[in-house]
Every structure is written in structure tokens, then in C-alpha cells.
Amino acid sequence: MKPYWIKTPKFIKRLFNNQVWDIPNSENKIYLTFDDGPTPQVTEWVLSVLKNYNIKATFFCIGKNIENHPDILKIIISDDHSIGNHTFNHLNGWKTQSNKYLENVALCNEKFKNLEILNRKSQISNLFRPPYGKIKPSQSKKLRQLGYKIIMWDILSADFDQTITKEECLGNATKKVTSGSIIVFHDSQKSFKNLEYALLKTIEILKEKGYQFDTIR
């Protein structure tokens, strides 16, 4: 059995109901999200796919990658996608002291603030996704007190898993989607083999089923 759920169980959503797992709506809207960028070539490829389909998505960015590749983040913003904080160093909250974790989140936020395009558009993000989905209740509480919305997910593509096939990745991303689903992909080098195959087909399958894509704000 894989050490993760493809479809987040309802009991987990109820247990941690102060975090956002899906966004119920009557318009068949779903939400593509991408973690771990910006990554040269990979993120740019994702952006080109989204532009071709006229789809907006949400990118949860690592601060270190923002620091190294600010021009890619500027494209994400100028294309009117939404952005979120994914810590500066991709920290596992379960294994990190809370003060260090919160400092790392703040450091990532500083990288957003340093971008002039964000300040012009007033788009400093209050979205946060914990790397690996692992965050202590005390960390979650403090971040929410600071004004962050903690965005989890309903559907995990598992594109990062090197042991699954690209066809399995596609099935993960499409088979259990419902209106309001938040779907996770990763714009990272590690995930690209599966992502390159699955993303286009996921979009086509879900559009065929009548779903509309939207950003998380």
C-alpha cells in the first residue's frame, strides 16, 4: 500500500476542518495546483500548457526557488495565476521546531514581497501549503492566526512517485475528481516524467467531463 491517499478521506477532512481540502461549488469548478517551483523549463512548460488551454491555476512556491528564479515567478503572476507559500526550504513541519518552521514561512513570504510586480498588483499571497502535507496543529494554528489560509488537497496525482507509471499518474489525477476538487501536481524535475504525460490528458479528460478550472484566491 502506498504511504499516501490519492483521494483524501472524508474523516481526515473532518478531523482537520480548519484547513482547506476542497472548495465545494455548484459550477463544476475544480482547482489545479502545482507545488515546488518555480523550476526552469518545467514551470515554463506548465505555463505554456495552461496558456494553450486558457486555464488558470495556483502555484505553491518554494522561497529558495523564488530567490533563484524570480523571472519565472513574474511570468506566473503576469499570466494571472495565483500563488502560495510552500516554505523557503521545503520543510517537513512534523520534523521541524515550530519557531524554525514559522521563520521559514516568513522568509518565503519576504521573497514574494521583494518582487515589484507583486507590490504593483497587490498580490501578496495569504495561501500556504505545507510541504508533504505535514504540519503540526500548533504550526497550523499560528499560521492561521497570522492570516494564512492553509490549502491542502482532495486529489493527489502522485507525479513525484518514481515507482508508478505515467498512466497510473493520469488515473490518479482524474478518476475520483468531483466538483470542488483541489488537484496536486508538482512543477519539479523529479515529477516531470509523469507530469509531462499526465497534465495535458488530465485537462482534456476533465474538460470533456464538463469541469471548469479556477484559481484559489
Question: Consecutive sets of 10 residues in the chain, 217 residues long: mean pLDDT of each?
Answer: 90 97 97 98 98 97 96 93 97 98 96 69 78 97 97 98 97 98 98 98 98 96
| Alpha carbons 32 and 24: distance in angstroms, whole number | 14
Return the bridge partners of 22, or none: 181
> For residue 176, what pLDDT is reported?
98
> For residue 48, what pLDDT is reported?
98
Residue 157 and residue 172 in contact, taking contact as beta carbons nearer than 8 Å:
yes
| Alpha carbons 2 and 70: distance in angstroms, whole number | 35
Overall fold of domain 10-213? TIM Barrel (3.20.20)
Q: Can you say whether residue 2 is alpha, beta or left, with left for phi > 0 and alpha for psi between -120 and 50 degrees?
A: beta
> For residue 209, what pLDDT is reported?
97
Residue 151: CB atoms within 10 Å = 22
> For residue 122, what pLDDT is reported?
47
Residue 52 and residue 28 in contact, taking contact as beta carbons nearer than 8 Å:
no
> For residue 119, what pLDDT is reported?
53
> For residue 113, what pLDDT is reported?
84
- Measured in residues, the chain has a length of 217
| Alpha carbons 191 and 189: distance in angstroms, whole number | 5
> For residue 93, what pLDDT is reported?
98
Residue 60 and residue 85 in contact, taking contact as beta carbons nearer than 8 Å:
yes
> For residue 120, what pLDDT is reported?
53
> For residue 208, what pLDDT is reported?
98
> For residue 194, what pLDDT is reported?
98
Residue 27: CB atoms within 10 Å = 10
Q: What single-letter DSSP state applies at residue 132?
A: G
Q: What is the pTM of this model?
A: 0.96
Residue 179 and residue 28 in contact, taking contact as beta carbons nearer than 8 Å:
yes
Active site residues: 35, 186
| Alpha carbons 114 and 133: distance in angstroms, whole number | 26
SS3 of 4, please? coil
**CA–CA–CA angle 167, 173, 175 (5° rounding):** 90
